[in-house]
Chain A
Amino acid sequence: MKLLTDLFSFWLAQAGKLGEQTLQHIGLTAASLLLGVLVGVPLGLWLTRRPRLAPWVLGAAGILQTIPSIAMLGFLIPLMGIGHWPAILALFLYALLPIIRNTVAGVQGVPAAVVDAARGLGLTDGQLLRRVELPLALPVLFAGIRTAAVINVGVATLAAYVAAGGLGEFIFGGIALNNPVMILAGAIPAAALALAFDAALAGVQRLSVRNLTRVGRALLVALPLLAGLYLLPRATGKLLAGFSPEFVGRADGLPGLRQAYGLRHLPSVVLAPALVYEAARNVNVDVIDGYSTDGRIKAYQLQVLHDDRRVFPPYYAAPVVRPQLLAAHPELRAVFAKLTGQLSDSVMTDLNYRVDYLHQEPKAVALQFLRRRGLWQAPRPLAPDAAVVRLGSKIFAEQYILTELYAALIRGYTSLDVSTKTGLGGTTICFEALRTGAIDMYPEYTGTGLLVLLQPPPAVVDSLGGNADAVFRYVQLGFRRRYGLEWLAPLGFNNTYALLMRRQQAATLGIASISDLGAYLQR
């Protein structure tokens, strides 16, 4: 019951968005269906004249059909970028098989005697096709269009991943935020659309051949109109933003940003997190969300807009250690401190770029950095019975690099042995490993410590007000008290949400901060 009221209040609150997405969804389906009919029906008719080629063409269309829809979009992105066209093309390819197959089956299903008699009466091949075969194939042909329509309504939800809109925006936002109400808010209208298309075309299919011919013509008029829906409601602005679903839904994401900066004149599309950077690079969109130390910022020449009103919570990286380790080997405190404040946002971005984009080894990148900073020392020989310091990391490049940095320092400045347990999955796994003593240290982010692990009441979070020092002190104290774990001094960079623009465009428009962006949009 709670779910239901939540759902209705969500729809009410997002009525505009819901309407827009539904229209986009219908438009996408109609556009791809129209293309499917315009290509599939003539192709099917041609195949009835070239029956030897039919197995080949149907086989090819069948193979297209078996490609998972996500993979299909993945194939198309390098070719077509993001936006409407890859989505429409993917849906079109899915619509092809049922339409071609049913066109062929429909024509082949026309009784041989009828075709023979019609030929014998003196109908030309074209007349035979137009007046006899095509009309008589219509019921089967419509069944194919119906199948294609239902498939496409379903697959069109994935269009949200390539910034093509549709009801998938709610669904993927809901999945990213683990918010069932939001998922249902998109999934229920999508299912209703599929049922509506199915029922409408089922009704059409039952009509007599004569009426079907009329409906067929009407459909060729109606589909472009419906497809037009897709293009109509697009708001236009000076800049277009592309956001990941999670960013759009999170309170400290887009909603918080709009509250603090306005940004009312910034129309946005939703797309898959993995694609936002590409979209900015390819000038599909101008403003994106991202993480402030992502290597692609450097690779794609993007610029982080300064969060001058501090909407995004601070996510400063710092080593979290077991106090027992420091007690047993006090010399480690000084070793860990060597990195304090050494890694600015741009430095960390650069290191990430080398690993993520240039595909260098995290270990090599770490050593190179230490050498440049004059921190590197050749590993000392191990003391007999040397204790082992176990370092952990989560499963992404930045954490690998940090772990390698610490490992190299420990080897260079102490006689202790080091083992690394990289790739411990997410936050919870790393944290539990540290708490139970499976590892001695791993790098964590203050924002994560606060919101994911400590989870204080909202009032407390508000009172911290995004102040980096306040958050660090709160987390340090909280961990010491609750878990008996120690946060050491932060490394210097803040890996948080960020708004990004292409560097060149930002420079041209004179935008350095999010306030600048807001002012530019207002102008």
Chain B
Amino acid sequence: MVPPVTPAIRAQHLSKHYDGHAVVQDVSFELTPGETLVLLGPSGCGKTTLLRMLNRLVEPDSGTVEVFGQDVRHPRPEQLRRGIGYVIQQVGLLPHYTVAENVGVVPRLLGHAPASIATRTEELLNRLHLPPARYANQYPHQLSGGQQQRVGLARALAADPPLILLDEPFGALDPITRTSIRREFRELEELRRKTMVLVTHDVQEAFELADRILLLDAGQVQQLGTPQELLFSPANDFVRRFFAAEQLALQLRTLRLTDLLPYLVSGSTNNSLSNRNTIPPTATIQEAIEALSNASELTTLAEEQVLFVRSADTGSPISLTISSLMGAFGQAIQHLRRS
């Protein structure tokens, strides 16, 4: 018997009306610790309201929320919020506080010792590429949008909360900054252990960051599942239509080489394998295509460039060319659609 794990969040039958208009209708979900859930949907679908119910910035009309087994209505709202990281699109740094003071807000509220707050702030600023020597004493208006959002993230992480809520955290940034910050965000060691709920309307972002996606429309859950499930087993027409425009791009990012292994021919090779000409099986198709088209030092076979996939099961490497990859990709898609 595996002991039952207390879910990080258990939301049950949440509903919220504004002026008789239902914004959130009977939404339930559970989140295991460490999981990242993306609340996705068009503007006005209720995803932000749903998020704000989790830290009681919005009180639901009906339904309950438990965070790590505790009903959120029991602690005082401030007490609850101090234990949950919160990041919003407009950042909302306190303009009259320095960067360091902004980061230290929650630990100060929690009564941490000044010395430990200083150490923690320094550590976080370093990790988020904001050298404290230069940035700690600056004011928010002296920072770029991307830097402000990093401070906002550091502020949410300062008290090391197990749960973090993010409301379109990259929404206000220009596309280039957004991509780079998103990469940093994904690679941040600090966040690996956290349970996160992230609101976005950007499908690419959702697929990139989510363990699971909760797709909302008009306050109702359309589908809750992994990106792959939403893409290949849409629950209804809305889900299908929602991803239609970006379907191919999403498929290339969602499917991994492991998913294609049944359709790839394995063969022996004389080539010595090195890090340069191999790719892990967990790589996405997108990454494999990029590797194949960029690298100039790969072995050329019949005028096609070749990568080798180390198969986890057999141990014998599989050779990969653009044409074999695309063929297998097509077969896999067909298979997934049929099933």
Listed in ascending order, the chain A residues whose CB lies under 8 Å from chain B are: 111, 113-124, 127, 131-132, 135-136, 208-210
Contact = CB atoms under 8 A, between A and B. Distances in A.
Nearest to A114: B92
A208 B142 CA distance: 14
Nearest to A208: B96
Interface in B61-115: 78-83, 86, 88-96, 105-106, 109
Given A113-B91, A123-B78, A209 B106 contact: no
Contact of B96 (A117, A119, A122, A135): A135
A113 B89 CA distance: 9
A209 B98 CA distance: 12
Scoring A111, A116, A119, A120 by chain B CB atoms within 10 A of each residue's CB, the highest score goes to: A120
A209 B81 contact: no
B92 A122 contact: no
A335 B55 CA distance: 101
B88 A122 contact: no
Interface residues of B, number: 24
Given A113-B89, A136-B95, 19 more contacts: A111-B95, A113-B90, A114-B95, A115-B92, A117-B91, A117-B152, A118-B94, A118-B105, A119-B81, A120-B55, A120-B57, A120-B86, A121-B81, A121-B86, A122-B80, A122-B81, A122-B82, A122-B109, A127-B109
Scoring B88, B92, B95, B152 by chain A CB atoms within 10 A of each residue's CB, the highest score goes to: B92
A210 B94 CA distance: 12
A121 B82 contact: yes
Contacts of B96: 135-136, 208-210
B276 to A, nearest CB: 46
B155 interface: yes
Interface of B: 55, 57, 78-83, 86, 88-96, 105-106, 109, 152, 155, 165
Scoring B79, B89, B90, B91 by chain A CB atoms within 10 A of each residue's CB, the highest score goes to: B90
Contacts of B80: 122
A362 to B, nearest CB: 71
A177 B210 CA distance: 87
B172 to A, nearest CB: 10
A117 B93 CA distance: 7
A116 B92 contact: yes
A209 B95 contact: yes
A123 B92 contact: no
Contacts of B57: 116, 119-120
Chain A to chain B: the 10 pairs with minimum beta-carbon distance, closest first: A117-B92, A113-B90, A122-B82, A120-B86, A122-B81, A209-B96, A113-B92, A122-B78, A124-B78, A114-B92
Scoring B57, B81, B83 by chain A CB atoms within 10 A of each residue's CB, the highest score goes to: B81
Contact of B105 (A111, A121, A136): A121
A114 B109 contact: no
A127 B106 CA distance: 12
A113 B91 CA distance: 7
B93 A121 contact: no
16 contacts: A113-B91, A114-B92, A115-B92, A116-B88, A117-B86, A117-B152, A120-B55, A120-B92, A121-B105, A121-B155, A122-B79, A122-B80, A122-B81, A122-B83, A123-B105, A135-B96
A122 B106 contact: yes
B230 to A, nearest CB: 28
Nearest to A117: B92
A505 B106 CA distance: 70
Contacts of A121: 81-82, 86, 105-106, 109, 155
A114 B91 CA distance: 8
A499 B50 CA distance: 82
A135 B106 CA distance: 19
Scoring A113, A118, A122 by chain B CB atoms within 10 A of each residue's CB, the highest score goes to: A122
B245 to A, nearest CB: 30
A221 to B, nearest CB: 22
A128 to B, nearest CB: 10
B188 to A, nearest CB: 20
A123 B155 CA distance: 14
Given A120-B57, A121-B82, A114 B93 contact: yes
Nearest to B80: A122
Contacts of B92: 111, 113-118, 120
A119 B109 CA distance: 12
A134 to B, nearest CB: 11
A113 B90 CA distance: 6
Contacts of A115: 92
A9 B96 CA distance: 52
Contacts of A122: 78-83, 106, 109
